[in-house]
Amino acid sequence: MSKISDWRMKFFLWIGLPVIAGLGLLFGAFDLVPAWQAHGGSGTAGTFTAEREECGRRSCSFHGSWTAADGSAKRDDVILYDEPDSLRTGATVEALDSGARKGVFATAGGSTYLLVTGFVLAGVAALVGWVFVLRNAFRRRRDPAAVPA
C-alpha cells in the first residue's frame, strides 16, 4: 500500500502541480482584471444579443453579439458571463465589455470574478508548491548526507 501511495504522491508533485499551476494561471490570468472591472461596473456599456445556447453537463452558456451603447464597437461570437436565469435565445441583456478575451459581462452581476480569482489563486498556490518541490529535490541531489542509506 505504501508503494501505491508513494507513486501517487510523486505523480501529483511532479505532474499534477505544474499542470494545475499552468491551467490556473493560463485560464485565469487573462480574465482576472476584466472580471473584477466588470464586477466594479467598469467597462464599455452595451447590449448583448443571445444567438445560441451551448449546454454541458452542469451549465449552459450563451453566445452571441455585443454592441456598444453608442454604436462605436461591436464584438461577434462572444460569451455572456453572469447571464440572468431568465435569458433565452434571441433575447437581449445589458452587458459590459471590460476586455475579457472571449466574452462580456451582464450588468446584473454575478460571481464570475470569484471563479476566475479562484483559478488564479489555485495556480499560484500550485506554482509555489512546485517551486518548493524542485528546491528540495535539488538540495537532496547536492547534499549527499541528506540521502538515506
Residues of the chain scoring pLDDT < 70: 1-5, 143-149
| Beta strands 60-68 and 92-97, pairing class | unpaired
- Would you state the pLDDT for residue 48? 96
Candidates 122, 31, 124, 123; CA nearest to 82 is: 31
- Would you state the pLDDT for residue 3? 59
Helical H segments across 1-142, by residue range: 2-11, 17-39, 112-142
How far apart CA 37 and CA 97 sit, in angstroms, is: 9
Nine-digit cell at 136?
Answer: 528540495
- Would you state the pLDDT for residue 4? 57
- Would you state the pLDDT for residue 86? 86
Nine-digit cell at 42?
Answer: 467598469
Question: For the purposes of burial, counting CB atoms within 10 Å of the CB of 60, is it exposed (0-12), middle (13-18) or buried (19 or more)?
Answer: exposed
- Would you state the pLDDT for residue 11? 83
Q: Which residues pair with 27 in a beta bridge?
A: none
